[in-house]
Amino acid sequence: MLAEWFKHLTLPCPAPIRDMGYARELIAIEARHRRCRDAWAPHLEHCHKVIGDAAEGISHDRVIVLGSGLLLDIPLAELSETFSDVVLVDIFHLPAARKKVHDMTNVRLETADITGLADATWTHVREGRAGPLPPPQADAGAFADADLVVSANVLTQLPLLPMGWVEKKGKGYDEDGIKAFARRIVDHHLELLAALPGRVCLLTESQRVICDGDEVLREIDPLFGATLPATGLKWTWDIAPRPEITRQIDLRFRMTGIADLRGASA
C-alpha cells in the first residue's frame, strides 16, 4: 500500500485526474492484479475470447478500445496482428500501458474522457456550485470510423469516480440525486455504443456480489437499474478473494461478454 501511495504521489497527471482518483484507481488495479493474478486469470481469458470472437467476420482496418486501462483484458498482440490501426482510449494511461505499446507501430494510445463530464464535474464541485450536475456529452462520431469498438469493462466504472467526487466534496446532493447522476452516465455510454455503425463488443459486470465462501451476503447493482441483453458469455470474476479486502469476505463480479452488441439487441 505504501508503494501504491508513493507512486500516486509522484506520478505526473492533470489535477482533475489526480483529485478525482483516476490515477490512484489505475495504480490500485495494477497492484491488485499482482496480488490476485491466479484468481483473475480465468476472467482475463474470457475477455480475450469475447474480443477475439468480435473481430471475426468484419473488416480489419481499425479497432478502438474504450477503457483500455492496463491492457490486461485486451488481447493486444492479436489485435495488432489483425487490424491495421489499433486505438486504445482511456482518460489516463499509466507508464506500464505506454511501455506495452511502445514497439507496436500500428497501436496508439489516445487520452480522452468517454463520458465528456469529468472535467466539468471536477470544476462544478471545486467551485461549490449547486443545481444540476454536468450531463454526459461524449460524441459517438469520434468512434464511427472503427470496424470494431470494444467497451472493455468500463461501463460500470464510468460513474464511480464522478459519484465519489460529488459525494465527498459536493454540496446539496442527496443519495437519490447522485444515483440518478450515475444512471445517466451508464445510459449515455450504452446509447453511444448503440449509435456506432460498426460492430460493438461489450465486456461488463452485471452484478457485484459480496460473499462468505458460497454464501451470498449482499448483491449490488453496478448498472443503477439499467439493463443489458440477456445473451452473451457469462462468467464470475473473483476480483478480490479473501484476504484481499478482509479475511471474512470475497468480492465477485458476475460478468457478461457480448461479441456483437447489435446482434444481441436485435
Buried-state track 13-34, b at ≥16 Cβ within 10 A, e below 16: bbebbbbbbbbbbbbebbebee
Which domains can be identified in the chain, with CATH numbers? 40-265 (3.40.50)
pTM of the model: 0.94
Which whole-number Å values give the CA distances from 33 to 27, 28, 180, in the listed order? Answer: 10, 9, 31
Q: How many CB atoms lie within 10 A of CB 97?
A: 22
Q: How many CB atoms lie within 10 A of CB 5?
A: 11
pLDDT in tens, the chain (266 residues): 545 544 544 576 799 999 999 999 999 999 999 999 999 999 999 999 999 999 999 999 999 999 999 999 999 999 999 999 999 999 999 999 999 999 999 999 999 999 999 999 999 999 999 899 999 998 899 999 999 999 999 999 999 999 999 999 998 899 999 999 999 999 999 999 999 999 999 999 999 999 998 899 999 999 999 999 999 999 999 999 999 999 999 999 999 999 999 988 65
Query: What's the pLDDT score for residue 6?
Result: 44
Query: What's the pLDDT score for residue 148?
Result: 98
Which whole-number Å values give the CA distances from 37 to 23, 25, 99, 203, 244, in the listed order? Answer: 21, 17, 20, 19, 12
Measured between alpha carbons, how far is 266 from 99 in angstroms, rounded to an integer?
A: 40
- Please provide residue 32's backbone torsions phi and psi, each rounded to the nearest 5 degrees: -65, -40
Name all contacts of 242-249 with Cβ < 8 Å and 24+ positions apart: 244/32, 244/35, 244/36, 248/212, 249/210, 249/211, 249/212, 249/217
